A and B are shown apart, each in its own frame.
Chain A
Amino acid sequence: MHYIIIGAGPSGVIASENIRKLDQNAQITLIKGHKEPPYSRMAIPYFLEEKITEDGTHIRHKSNSFNEQGITLVNELVSEVKTKDNTLVLSDGSELVYDKLLVSTGAIATSPPIEGINSNHVYNCWTLEDARNIAKKAIPGSSLVLMGAGFIGCIILESLLKRGVNLTVVEMGDRMVPRMMDESAGGLLKSWCESKGVRILTSEQVISISEAKAKPLQVNLKNSDPLSADLVICATGVKSNTGFLESSDIKLDQGILVNEFLQTNIENVYASGDVAQGLDFSDQSWSIQAIQPTAVEHGRIAAINMVENNSCVHHGSINMNILDTMGLISTSFGQWMGVEGGEESVLLDEQNFRYLNLQFKGEHLVGISSLGHTQHIGVVRGLIRGKVKLGVWKERLMNDPTRLMEAYIANI
């Protein structure tokens, strides 16, 4: 049996290793579209900050780890998937034949279609190569414009500041990290950043990037004066990496459509991680979460189903995030924005940048968002996933949301 996994991010690596554990005799090929060892994008901010070297971003630290597990690494992009012939065409023209295929090609960074976005000195911050380029140019005293205050934009703020750059952030939305924070938390985060000397322009848009005299770039804004910059980082969004599948008969929507086994419409083709439009635990919708825990959960479950013929049902992953923005740590879990007919318990301490918002449906916790609360935060996953009936603790949490951990312990 030849298993081929396309994409060597966390999902693909976990899948290939789990396939090996379940089938000692399988032939396993892990294809990656770059020359780097398999690495984690999650680690890039810490590389930029020089907390770790490039090696520190690698998913497995032993250099012969894949070899030892009998997993063959191939460095080549896949240009076409011919599902009728079970064949992949690689960018060098060669072909590989699979019995079962896993697509775990993740996401790619996108850029808005504005003039000058392809200039030199404009980078995404998505790949290790992007990070190397940014590290070269983000030097003390340089001016940097960061487009996008989403998860990626926020998580690299600290590393950029530590590099000694003058930083301006331009965000189209009305607050920071709108996909994981409500107005209160987003607003608090903005004042936190401003207190650290970062200029944040929300409800603002870059309309074009042009060449300039004093600095290499002039960044033209919709509502304010232009900014001069040595470097622009574009962190405005990512999308599923499915371009190479457009000529195939694998069904796509926001990403690859899968069923509860992480199987696509083609019987021997599965998908996992950021490229897979998998099941969301909270609302049972099919969506792309693009988070590490979901990527590895998908990878593990897809591997089981590929080897053991759909023996493991995926009941859905909880969307959850934790983000460190210059030392202020925020989290969001599940239906943090609330549900119809639900109730909420909110604690806001603006002076100390602390916020806790619990969302309930009946006796169950269905989501939270927080700023400045990190201890034992994992129990939120336990409470949501376990559909723990809170009983008397519901009322206690309505009165004091900080008693989450007690509520958890009292209920296990």
Chain B
Amino acid sequence: MEKSLVINPDKCTGCLQCEMACSYENEGVFNPAKSRIKVFTFHQEGRFVPYTCTQCSEAWCQQACPVDAISLNLVTGAKEVNESSCVGCKVCTISCPFGTINYNQSSGKVIKCDLCGGDPKCASACPTQAITYVDADQTGLDKMRQWATQTDNATSNTASNA
């Protein structure tokens, strides 16, 4: 059963453990600025919202890549950036309507969530279960995925590049 990340903002306390864990796993440093998951703070509402790639089936990033540097991991369902192929053109960063693939100036390549190969560290680091990694059918289609299908052409068609 394919799993997916499920985010429940109501449980998030804004502790940023997820960002630290992500950055350490992927960049080898504890630096939230290099995290692939970001917690957004809404001061007025006193609310925290963790946010990262949903591995959407439209795979805007993958479709837009001019050099075949983003591919589907058939085991996890993640869309993964192949560092050796990425030229750093950043076209994927404007193509992803969720803003979840970003340019990393220090490497000259783009970075995005790859589900840590099937063991996402943000989920294991989260002390309040605001981020969990569970069977995909339990999650249903989350709000963002639904939203994705409204936003562009031909998204319900099978002929995507994903």
B63:A304 contact, CB within 8 angstroms: no
**Interfacial residues of chain A within 323-363, with CB under 8 A of chain B in the complex:** 324, 327, 329, 331, 333
B90:A329 contact, CB within 8 angstroms: yes
A296:B154 contact, CB within 8 angstroms: no
Shortest A174–chain B CB gap in Å is: 26
B159:A18 contact, CB within 8 angstroms: yes
Task: Name A18's closest neighbour in chain B (CB-CB).
Answer: B159
* A84 at the B interface (CB under 8 A): no
* Interface residue range, chain A: 35 or more
Which of B40, B153, B160 has the most chain A CB within a 10 Å cutoff? B153
Task: Name B82's closest neighbour in chain A (CB-CB).
Answer: A61
Task: Name A40's closest neighbour in chain B (CB-CB).
Answer: B66
B interface size (C-beta, 8 A):
43
B99:A378 contact, CB within 8 angstroms: yes
- The CA of A321 and the CA of B94, in the complex, are separated in Å by 7
A382:B97 contact, CB within 8 angstroms: yes
In the bound complex, residues from chain A placing their C-beta under 8 Å from that of B137 are none
Shortest B145–chain A CB gap in Å is: 11
* A297 at the B interface (CB under 8 A): yes
- The CA of A350 and the CA of B68, in the complex, are separated in Å by 37
**Interfacial residues of chain B within 62-115, with CB under 8 A of chain A in the complex:** 63-64, 66-68, 85, 87-91, 93-103, 105, 108
A378:B94 contact, CB within 8 angstroms: yes
Chain A 351-380, CB-CB to B under 8 Å as 1, else 0, gives 000000000000000000000001111111
B98:A406 contact, CB within 8 angstroms: no
A322:B85 contact, CB within 8 angstroms: no
**Interfacial residues of chain A within 309-328, with CB under 8 A of chain B in the complex:** 311-315, 320-322, 324, 327
In the bound complex, residues from chain A placing their C-beta under 8 Å from that of B94 are 293, 320-322, 331, 333, 377-378, 380-381
A405:B99 contact, CB within 8 angstroms: yes
- The CA of A86 and the CA of B11, in the complex, are separated in Å by 62
In the bound complex, residues from chain B placing their C-beta under 8 Å from that of A304 are 154, 157, 159
Given contacts A378-B96, A380-B94, contact A315 B153 (CB under 8 A): yes
Q: Which of B49, B91, B143, B159 lies in contact with A42, CB distance below 8 A?
A: B91
Shortest A62–chain B CB gap in Å is: 9
Given contacts A304-B154, A382-B151, A412-B147, contact A292 B90 (CB under 8 A): no
Beyond A374-B103, A377-B93, A379-B98, 20 extra complex contacts between A and B, CB < 8 Å: A17-B161, A18-B161, A40-B66, A60-B68, A61-B85, A293-B64, A293-B95, A297-B152, A301-B154, A304-B154, A313-B153, A314-B153, A315-B153, A375-B99, A376-B99, A376-B100, A379-B99, A382-B151, A409-B49, A410-B42
